[in-house]
């Protein structure tokens, strides 16, 4: 692997930047692997990387039906935070955030993780009580957090509308300074390059069409490029978890919904943090290119169409204008929809399935991007040992039988 550094940049500049190598090999599928990972998004590639780097399992293939990072990894609003209420979620997302903090060095790839902080606004007395409870829970779990009042919010975002006359006045916020945003494509590319360097085969344009089983044990997969055998298979897919479960003969408590987001025309630097509001339901940050990245909630109906309904956009843009009148004449540049797999308790499913040797890491709903490193880290442990790590043990599929849900939906008092 060519290492990236200021020296390599200077050296390649002298030769007109013609000597750079592709970041990963174009692998052709072998007949057999120890571990197959279905899905070449951030989570799948992170899983492959930690399998190779932490557990020394390098006979691994990542199968991607399209191109690397072409799914939800490239369709999100890139917010990273760990201020979740429940202990189980806090452990998972905080593990992830700690990996984010060293990720660029670890991968030798600049993922542009910018710890610019995240504000979660409160608009009612109950919002503020929930925020206090959540920040206290965070601090008990060793996660940074502060409760800000209206003036505190105004100091960070001077142009936010804090008028008491507003329909949803800003009474305060939770503030997590270590949270921030990252460059989504770079996360996929960085993990792909680092995994490839350790011997992982990254196979693009290879769609899984069936799960091969013998006596309740997985033995491989059928793909658009032929059958591939494997001892263990990990499905790390988004948008199609239910389709894959059906191939393997079981059902999931997951429904797929469109989630829409928007990017505005580029502006000069104006917003140097991330602001989320669950009550009026909009979240916004400014990318390094100057565009505002704006997101909100899912469309109510299920769908795989990579688009949603216009009234959903209208809803979150009216919330945006209410909070930031200064943005009212902003033009929107791009709009897209991703397909998010949501579980009833808004928490992911990471662990064993009814099929021996087949493991699922799915159902990240609307908040998977932030968890990319941690998700890969715990899932690599699960695939390597056959057992969940203590961090992902509460996120088993069996929780829907036992009733021990990790109900983050309303509890986090924040959009996912």
Partner 1 sequence: MLMIHCPWCGPRDESEFSYGGEADIQRPADPEAVSDAEWADYVFMRSNPRGWHCEQWVHVHGCRRWFKAERHTVSYEIRATWPMDQEKP
Task: State which of residues 281, 400, 407, 409 lies at the interface with partner 1 (CB under 8 A).
Answer: 400
Residue 178 interacts with partner 1 (CB under 8 A)? no
Closest listed residue to residue 68, CA positions, set 48, 46, 37, 45? 45
Cα–Cα distance between 76 and 370 in angstroms, integer? 10
Q: What is the spatial distance between Cα 154 and Cα 350, in angstroms, rounded to a whole number?
A: 39
Does position 408 interact with partner 1 (CB under 8 A)? The reply is no
Residue 305 in contact with partner 1, rule: CB under 8 A: yes
Question: Taking contact as CB under 8 A, which single stretch among the options 5-13, 127-135, 188-196, 397-405 is the one that binds partner 1?
Answer: 397-405
Minimum CB separation from partner 1 for residue 123, in Å?
A: 23
If the CB atoms of residues 130 and 299 are measured against partner 1, the closer one turns out to be 299
Residue span binding partner 1 (CB under 8 A) among the ranges 73-81, 112-120, 214-222, 300-308:
300-308
Q: Is residue 303 part of the contact set for partner 1 (CB under 8 A)?
A: yes
DSSP state of 168: S
370, two tokens = 């932030």
For the CB of residue 354, give the shortest distance to partner 1 in the complex, in Å. 10
CA gap 274, 289 in Å, rounded: 15
Asked if residues 212 and 232 have their Cβ atoms less than 8 Å apart, the reply is no
Considering only residues 240, 370, 381, 416, which one is a binding residue for partner 1 as defined by CB under 8 A? 240
344 binds partner 1 (CB under 8 A): yes
Please, where are the H alpha helices in 15-117? 42-53, 87-101, 103-107
User: At closest approach, how far in Å is the CB of 401 from partner 1?
Assistant: 5
| Beta carbon nearer to partner 1, 110 or 306 | 306
Which of 140, 243, 333, 404 lies at the binding interface for partner 1 (CB under 8 A)?
243
Does residue 209 belong to the site contacting partner 1 (CB under 8 A)? Answer: no
Specify the length of the chain in residues: 416
Distance set, CA 10 to CA 20, 22, 193, 353 (Å): 12, 18, 21, 50
x-or-dash pattern for partner 1, window 345-364, by CB under 8 A? --------------------
Check: CB of residue 416 under 8 Å from CB of residue 367. Answer: yes
Tokens of 416: 């996912």
Query: Which residue in 102, 224, 310, 390 binds partner 1 (CB under 8 A)?
Result: 310
User: Which stretch in 33-41, 133-141, 306-314, 317-325 sits in contact with partner 1 by CB under 8 A?
Assistant: 306-314
Strands 118-122 and 274-277, bridge-based pairing = parallel
Q: DSSP characters for 366-403? A: T--GGGHHHHHHHHHHHHHHSS--TTTGGG-TTHHHH-
264, 292 in Cβ contact below 8 A?
yes
**What tokens appear for 307 in the block?**
């688009």
Rounded to whole angstroms, how far apart are CA atoms 116 and 209?
42
Check binding of 127 to partner 1 (CB under 8 A).
no
Both structure tokens of 39: 């899905």
Does residue 300 belong to the site contacting partner 1 (CB under 8 A)?
Answer: yes
For the chain, give the longest Cα–Cα distance: 67
Which of 127, 196, 255, 408 lies at the binding interface for partner 1 (CB under 8 A)? 255
Residue 213 touching partner 1 (CB under 8 A): no
404 scored as a contact of partner 1 (CB under 8 A) = no
Stretch touching partner 1 by CB under 8 A, among 3-11, 198-206, 224-232, 235-243: 235-243
Cβ-based nearer residue to partner 1, 70 or 303: 303
Residue 302 binding partner 1, by CB under 8 A = yes
Q: Is 402 in the site for partner 1 (CB under 8 A)?
A: yes
Query: What tokens does 190 get?
Result: 């960085």
Q: Are strands 332-342 and 201-203 parallel, antiparallel or unpaired?
A: unpaired
Residues in the interface with partner 1 (CB under 8 A) total 22
In the set 13, 56, 311, 331, which binds partner 1 (CB under 8 A)?
311
Q: Candidates 20, 67, 159, 304: give the one binding partner 1 (CB under 8 A).
A: 304
**CB hemisphere CA count around 67 (13 angstroms):** 5
252 binds partner 1 (CB under 8 A): yes
Residues that bind partner 1 in the complex, under the rule CB under 8 A: 240, 242-243, 251-256, 300-305, 309-311, 344, 400-402
């Amino acid at each position: 692997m060519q290492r990236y550094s200021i020296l390599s940049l200077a050296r390649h500049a002298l030769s007109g930047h013609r000597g750079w190598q592709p970041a990963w090999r174009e692998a052709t599928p072998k007949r057999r692997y120890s571990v197959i990972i279905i899905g070449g998004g951030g989570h799948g590639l992170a899983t492959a990387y930690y399998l190779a780097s932490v557990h020394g399992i390098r006979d691994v293939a990542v199968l991607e039906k399209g191109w690397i990072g072409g799914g939800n990894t490239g369709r999100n609003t890139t917010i990273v935070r760990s201020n979740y209420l429940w202990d189980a979620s806090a452990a998972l997302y905080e593990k992830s955030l700690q990996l984010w903090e060293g990720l660029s060095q670890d991968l030798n790839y600049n993922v542009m993780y910018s710890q610019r902080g995240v504000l979660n606004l409160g608009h009612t007395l109950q919002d503020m009580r929930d925020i206090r409870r959540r920040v206290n829970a965070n601090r008990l779990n060793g996660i940074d957090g502060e409760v800000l009042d209206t003036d505190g919010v105004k100091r960070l975002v001077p142009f936010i509308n804090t008028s008491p006359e507003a329909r949803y006045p800003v009474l305060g916020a939770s503030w997590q300074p270590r949270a921030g945003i990252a460059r989504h494509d770079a996360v996929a590319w960085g993990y792909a390059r680092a995994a490839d360097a350790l011997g992982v085969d990254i196979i693009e344009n290879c769609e899984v069409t069936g799960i091969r089983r013998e006596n309740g044990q997985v033995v491989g997969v059928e793909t658009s490029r032929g059958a591939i055998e494997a001892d263990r298979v990990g499905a790390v897919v988004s948008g199609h978890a239910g389709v894959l479960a059906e191939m393997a003969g079981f059902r999931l408590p997951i429904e797929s919904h469109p989630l829409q987001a928007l990017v505005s025309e580029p502006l000069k630097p104006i917003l140097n943090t991330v602001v989320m509001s669950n009550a009026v339901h909009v979240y916004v940050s400014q990318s390094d290119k100057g565009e505002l990245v704006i997101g909100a909630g899912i469309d109510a109906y299920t769908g795989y169409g990579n688009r949603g309904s216009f009234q959903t956009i209208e809803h979150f843009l009216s919330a945006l204008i209410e909070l930031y009148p200064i943005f009212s004449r902003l033009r929107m540049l791009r709009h897209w929809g991703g397909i998010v797999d949501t579980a009833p308790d808004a928490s992911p499913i990471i662990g064993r399935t009814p099929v021996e040797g087949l493991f699922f890491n799915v159902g990240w709903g609307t908040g998977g991007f932030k968890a990319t490193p941690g998700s890969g880290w715990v899932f690599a442990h699960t695939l390597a040992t056959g057992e969940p790590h203590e961090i992902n043990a509460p996120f088993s599929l069996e929780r829907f039988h036992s009733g021990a849900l990790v109900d983050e939906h309303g509890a986090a008092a924040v959009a996912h």
